[in-house]
Structure 1
Amino acid sequence: MSYISLKDIKKIYMEGEENQVNALDGVDLEIELGEFVAIVGQSGSGKSTMMNILGCLDVPSYGSYVLDGTPVEELTSRQLASIRSHQIGFIFQGYNLIPSLTVAENVALPLTYQGVPRAERMARAAEALEMVDIAEKAENRPTQLSGGQQQRVAIARAMATASPVVMADEPTGALDSKTGAQVLQILKQLNDMGTTVILITHDLSIAANAKRVVTMQDGKLISDIAGSDVRLESAGGK
């Protein structure tokens, strides 16, 4: 069985009303451990809703989502929070760092919710910062860092949780092309270490860095191809 399995997932807002929105409309998707998958689509395609469902930030209106053998739709809010703490790491476009905490404290924060002792939290934070080559900024505040540095901290925070899945929502969206390429390289290295990476983006050229690219449109999954095929198509044909 796949680590992530979506069957006929539907997410409906304002159901039964005149302005009903079918944000997801019968999505089937299987993701194995260790994959690097990009979910790509323009605004309104359903990719953000898909991220929220996959990340257990929201639940589907209909259909089945099985994560590591567990039917997600049967879980309580507390159980969903536990999954977000232990099984899924998040990287957001806006970094979501807490200004009053140091870089190291930001990275260690999710481990608090995992019940990890302080000494181990800080050790794991230091190791993660070293892996993304920003250990020298451990005692700085986020506001003292560039956008690229803040995104590295956000990646380190996800890495420190040792979650089997990391979800990255438009992780290069606020960065220049050079810094964005560096962030994508870190995500590739994270995947090479065995972490399942799910990249959400509107940009096909960014999605092409993944090993597999799933395209969404109008709440439906319309294609599922290899990232190398996307690169070939972008170059003008196979």
Structure 2
Amino acid sequence: MLIEIQDIFKIYNEGKESEVRALDGVSLTIDRGEFVAIVGQSGSGKSTMMNVLGCLDIPTYGTYLLDGTEVTDLSDRQLARIRNREIGFIFQGYNLIQELDALENVTLPLIYQGISVFEREDRAMEALARVGMADRAHHRPSEMSGGQQQRVAIARAIATRPPIIMADEPTGALDSKTGRHVLEILRELNGEGSTIILITHDDGIAAQARRRVRLTDGKIVSDERGKEAAAV
């Protein structure tokens, strides 16, 4: 089992009138190599779920085993190390550093991993080529379209060769054609063994995953498995 969360709560302003249970007793397991969509409307708890699964935030209560390691008691430094080695993140807003070109953006997490100068440039170029962006390696984000920036963001996520890729609304800022291309890349990565966790409010996007976990008011209300849908 790659991911196992048990009876997870994330509570803000606990015990006060303004208390919010962003996650309300959630339990979930994800096997290595799965393609899972976590789907829900605004306020459903899906972003909080991603933050917990991605070790960006810790739950108020409950247990979280990531590849057998209990992460809820780890220090900030230990959590950062896990994020850097185990998880590649793709965000709706790309989160590229504007002052750096594509190659430098993709190289950045490899620096944190302590990869040598020559190896990290090779790996960064390999990742850019993987998403069809090798020819834009020395262009800054401001010189790219949204779709190109998202592909650079995917390259950055996969350059560290993490076993898990978490994509938070990765097509939300893209036109439908570019969005389909991004989803195709995610499916290809899943076919090569990566575990993909896709966060989305869009049922059509969620249908591209082999498994759909629906959140409502911080609770899992359905967990469906099936073949990938046809491209939308």
TM-score, normalization: structure 2? 0.97
For 1:81, the equivalent position in structure 2 comes to 80
For 2:11, the equivalent position in structure 1 comes to 12
Q: Are 2:35 and 1:36 equivalent residues in the alignment? A: yes
Q: Aligned equivalents of 2:206 and 2:172: distance in 1?
A: 12
- 1:150-229 aligned at under 5 Å gives the runs 150-228=149-227
Q: Aligned equivalents of 1:120 and 1:94: distance in 2?
A: 28
Structure 2 letter corresponding to 1:147:
G
Provide runs of 4+ in structure 1 moved above 4 Å.
none
Q: Which runs of 5+ in 2 are unaligned?
A: none
Q: Aligned equivalents of 2:4 and 2:108: distance in 1?
A: 29
Q: Aligned equivalents of 2:53 and 2:116: distance in 1?
A: 29
Quick one: percent identity of the two aligned structures? Answer: 63
Is the contact between residue 207 and residue 227 of structure 1 (CA under 8 Å) also seen in structure 2? no
Q: Aligned equivalents of 1:190 and 1:142: distance in 2?
A: 24
Q: Are 2:115 and 1:112 equivalent residues in the alignment? A: no
Q: Aligned equivalents of 2:119 and 2:50: distance in 1?
A: 30
Q: Are 2:130 and 1:127 equivalent residues in the alignment? A: no
For 1:59, the equivalent position in structure 2 comes to 58
Is the contact between residue 208 and residue 227 of structure 1 (CA under 8 Å) also seen in structure 2? no
Q: Are 2:49 and 1:50 equivalent residues in the alignment? A: yes
Is the contact between residue 209 and residue 227 of structure 1 (CA under 8 Å) also seen in structure 2? no
Q: Aligned equivalents of 1:119 and 1:170: distance in 2?
A: 33
Is the contact between residue 23 and residue 46 of structure 1 (CA under 8 Å) also seen in structure 2? yes
Structure 2 letter corresponding to 1:114:
Q
What is the number of residues matched between the two proteins? Answer: 231
Q: Aligned equivalents of 2:35 and 2:184: distance in 1?
A: 12
- 1:88-145 superposed Cα distances (whole Å, 9 cap, x missing partner): 1100000000111110110110111111111111100100011111110001111100
For 1:69, the equivalent position in structure 2 comes to 68
Q: Per the alignment, do residues 227 and 206 of structure 1 end up closer, same or farther by CA in structure 2, a change over 3 Å counting?
A: farther
Q: Aligned equivalents of 1:69 and 1:136: distance in 2?
A: 40
For 1:136, the equivalent position in structure 2 comes to 135
